[in-house]
Structure 1
Amino acid sequence: MTTPLLAVRGLHTVFHTEEGAWPAVSGIDLSIGPGEILGLVGESGSGKSVTGFSIFGLIDPPGEVIAGEVLFKGRNLRDLSEEQMRQLRGDRIAMIFQDPLMTLNPVLRIEEQMLEAIQTHASVPRTQALQLCVEALEMVGIPAPASRLRNYPHEFSGGMRQRVAIAIAMLNKPELIICDEPTTALDVTIQGQILYRMQEICRTHGTALIWITHDLGVIAELADKVAVMYAGKIVESGPVDEVLDAPVHPYTRGLLDSLPGAALPGGRLRQISGMAPMLGNRPAGCAFAPRCAHALAQCATGEPENTTVNGRTYRCFAPLVALDSAA
């Protein structure tokens, strides 16, 4: 069996408050191989971004990763010093943030920021590095890229700043890119171009992507595998076509049913009743039980364990599909 590029095992992240440690991510297991694209989906507050930040080593107090392993090419990132992590970030592992202002320094020209991203990790002549910058901006659809290198971030629109942030993340051709809803601020045409380019990079360079989003349509087109998160846990995962065509967990089914295309013409959109639980008020048993139309009595008291059948994993006492019999 091929060793995965990234293997996350039993990851737990909490936020310390006066009332105690509130769990944001609880027992996350996932893996991704070279060239694979993993979609991480769920409602806002489900723990997707915290998972990405935990993998990348960017959880600051009062947050803390308290347990688990983050194995990158067999090396546990949690054992590395901050200096060792800095050498990996932006080079072998990159992250594209939802807000480009988390990436871009407002007082430095784009040229300086892109050159720093290259020359921090490699001895590249300035002329060659500038050419790499121009190519990266051109790749994400920035017009007149050579001249725009001299601009400051405030001279770009929000969508253009996001494209610059994406270009910076891809400059050093990292082996793993964690993408935290990077195309949310982009129009559909540019989004399609970037998604196509991302897939091309994965095929050509063997780059792995973790794509964090709430947009199942994007995941259906982009990802090889999908992991569905709810209340800090992965409740279902597997090959993207299988999960979206025949979801096992009622929460996954609810997300799919709430898409506009799932409703009859002129009909009302379906929605999942209720609200996702607050971080410090997770219910006993299955966290989704209060919102689930298929909940059993045991769902209110017992927490389902992971069940894996034919490459698919789920946490549910009342699965919608019997995977073992369907195989």
Structure 2
Amino acid sequence: MMASLLEVRGLKTVFHLLGGAWAAVDGIDLTVERGEVLCLVGESGSGKSVTGFSLVQLIDPPGEIVAGDVLFNGENLRGASDERLRNLRGDRIAMIFQDPLSTLNPVLTIGEQMCEAILEHRACGQAQAAREAVAALGRVGISSPDVRLKQYPHEFSGGMRQRVAIAIALLNNPDLIIADEPTTALDVTIQSQILYEVQKLARETGTAVLWITHDLAVVAELADRVAVMYAGQIVETGTVDDVLDRPLHPYTLGLLNSSTGMVRPGERLHQIDGNAPRIDDRPSGCPFRPRCERVQPVCSQSYPVQQMIDGRSLRCHNPVPQAAGPAPVQEARP
């Protein structure tokens, strides 16, 4: 049996702040198979972005990865040299940042940056690299791509810069794409086009995708599996149909019920009471208990251990009865 392309075991990332070291990612386990799209969802501050940066070893002080393994194609990236990581990033592993300016160099043309991403990892000529760059820009909906190659990032709108960043990530047909809220700034039509291209890449080349988002409509359209994150922990994992149609964790149900696709026009959203806990002020036991409608005494006494229910991974003392599941979330289509 082949191993997963990406296997994360007990990953823990802390931030050394005044008063101690606080865990933003607190011992998570994840797997992503070849050709699979796994969506990592949760509120802001749940640890999703820190997880993405930790996987590619891009945590800077005061952050530090203190425990766990990140196995990529059987190789533990935690023990990899800086040179090895540079060779993998942009080639076998591509990351799409939420802010495209984290990817683009303001003093180089788009063409220079895209061609460099190709020539750095493959033996081909400048002309071939330019042709591939033009094709990649076309795939993400940028018109007149041959003209755009000669322009600089400041000549693009924010949404167009994000599309360029996505095009760069797709250039070398990577084995793994880690995408951190990459379509937030894009209109619905372009977003749908990007999702189609990502799904096509996964199906045709076996590229695995870890897509970090809070948009459940995108999850419904894109994901094969879903991992729900809260307060640095993965609280529920399962197939997209199981998690969205029949959530087991009260937090998952709360996210679904607060989605715009779950209310009629003019109705108020069904919000989750309270706020996510600060990294340095998480409650004892289950961190979701102060906001949970299904809280019981045991929830304050111990953190729920991981259990398997109907083929799903779950951390909850009092799961949601299946009859309480929400109506299906509508997909993000124009």
- The TM-score bracket by the shorter chain reads over 0.9
TM-score by length of 1: 0.97
Q: Secondary structure at 1:194's aligned position in 2?
A: helix
1:232 corresponds to = 232
2:58 corresponds to = 58
CA drift at 1:311:
2.3
Q: Secondary structure at 1:137's aligned position in 2?
A: helix
Q: Secondary structure at 2:40's aligned position in 1?
A: strand
Alignment partners' CA distance in 1, 2:261 and 2:114: 40
Alignment partners' CA distance in 2, 1:32 and 1:17: 32
CA drift at 1:122:
1.2
Contact 2:27 2:233 (C-alpha < 8 Å) held by counterparts: yes
1:155 corresponds to = 155
Alignment partners' CA distance in 1, 2:322 and 2:242: 13
Residue type matched to 2:313 in 1?
Answer: T
Alignment partners' CA distance in 2, 1:95 and 1:88: 11
2:165 corresponds to = 165
Alignment partners' CA distance in 2, 1:91 and 1:243: 32
2:327 corresponds to = none
1:186 corresponds to = 186
Alignment partners' CA distance in 1, 2:267 and 2:164: 40
Q: Gaps (5+ residues) in structure 1?
A: none
RMSD: 1.2
Alignment partners' CA distance in 2, 1:140 and 1:133: 11
Residue type matched to 2:90 in 1?
Answer: G
Percent identical:
63
Counterparts of residues 56-135 of structure 1 (less than 5 Å) = 56-135=56-135
**Residues 115-173 of structure 1, C-alpha deviations (whole Å, 9 max, x = no match):** 11111111210010000000000110111000100000000000000000000011111
Alignment partners' CA distance in 2, 1:149 and 1:133: 8
2:245 corresponds to = 245
Alignment partners' CA distance in 2, 1:164 and 1:255: 31
Alignment partners' CA distance in 2, 1:263 and 1:113: 44
Residue type matched to 2:204 in 1?
Answer: T
TM-score by length of 2: 0.95
Residue type matched to 1:161 in 2?
Answer: R
1:28 corresponds to = 28
Q: Count how many residue pairs are aligned between Structure 1 and Structure 2.
A: 323
Residue type matched to 1:228 in 2?
Answer: V
Contact 2:247 2:322 (C-alpha < 8 Å) held by counterparts: no
Alignment partners' CA distance in 1, 2:218 and 2:322: 27
Counterparts of residues 213-292 of structure 1 (less than 5 Å) = 213-264=213-264, 266-292=266-292
Alignment partners' CA distance in 1, 2:272 and 2:171: 40
Q: Is 1:142–2:142 an aligned residue pair?
A: yes
Change (3 A) 1:265 1:169: closer
Residue type matched to 1:57 in 2?
Answer: Q
Alignment partners' CA distance in 2, 1:264 and 1:165: 35
Q: Secondary structure at 2:24's aligned position in 1?
A: strand
CA drift at 1:204:
0.6
Q: Secondary structure at 1:51's aligned position in 2?
A: helix
CA drift at 1:322:
7.0
Alignment partners' CA distance in 2, 1:322 and 1:76: 39
Contact 2:246 2:322 (C-alpha < 8 Å) held by counterparts: no
